[in-house]
Amino acid sequence: MQAVRTWRIASWIAVAVWASVIFWFSSLTGSQVPGRYGSLGHFGEYAIFGALILLALETPARLLPAVALASAYGITDEVHQLFVSGRQADPVDWLVDTLGALVGAVVLGWLWRRILAGKADGRP
């Protein structure tokens, strides 16, 4: 039981840490953003975020709540950028964030179900 509790805490800490990474990137002025990856950067960071949230929610069946949480955070991220020099809120970025979270959660959910199916079949 302690291992399950530790896993829950660790998974939510991972979500909080990654949310902090996203916040930090959004705090950079436009000229400080490394690589200038634009939409690809948004997609990648939110794909990871969506997957981490799904893990923290403890079941692949909670895919939609995971994506909704990541998408809601994406809205706050865009609002935050209104207050950063050289940045702006962009609804397209939010849509890319949400799509990234969806893809990340779907991929993790698919892998998770495959692993669970293998365990049910007695495979390692």
Average pLDDT over residues 108-121: 84
Q: Where are the domains of the chain?
A: 2-28+38-120
Distance CA 63, CA 115 (A): 16
Residue 123 host element (H or E): none
Contact between 113 and 59 (Cβ < 8 Å): no
Looking at residue 97, what is its pLDDT? 97
Nearest to 41 by CA among 54, 53, 28: 28
Tokens of 118: 């293998």
pLDDT band at 124 (very low <50, low <70, confident <90, very high): low
Looking at residue 101, what is its pLDDT? 98
Long-range CB pairs of 112-119 (<8 Å, 24+ gap) are 112/54, 112/60, 113/60, 116/60
Looking at residue 51, what is its pLDDT? 97
Looking at residue 37, what is its pLDDT? 73
pLDDT band at 28 (very low <50, low <70, confident <90, very high): confident
Task: Check: pTM over 0.75? Answer yes or no.
Answer: yes
Distance CA 65, CA 53 (A): 9
Evaluate if residue 33 carries a pLDDT over 70.
no
pLDDT per residue as tens digits for the range 37-83 = 778 889 999 999 999 999 999 888 899 999 999 999 999 999 999 99
Which value, in Å, is the radius of gyration of the alpha carbons in the chain? 16
Contact between 54 and 106 (Cβ < 8 Å): no
Looking at residue 121, what is its pLDDT? 65
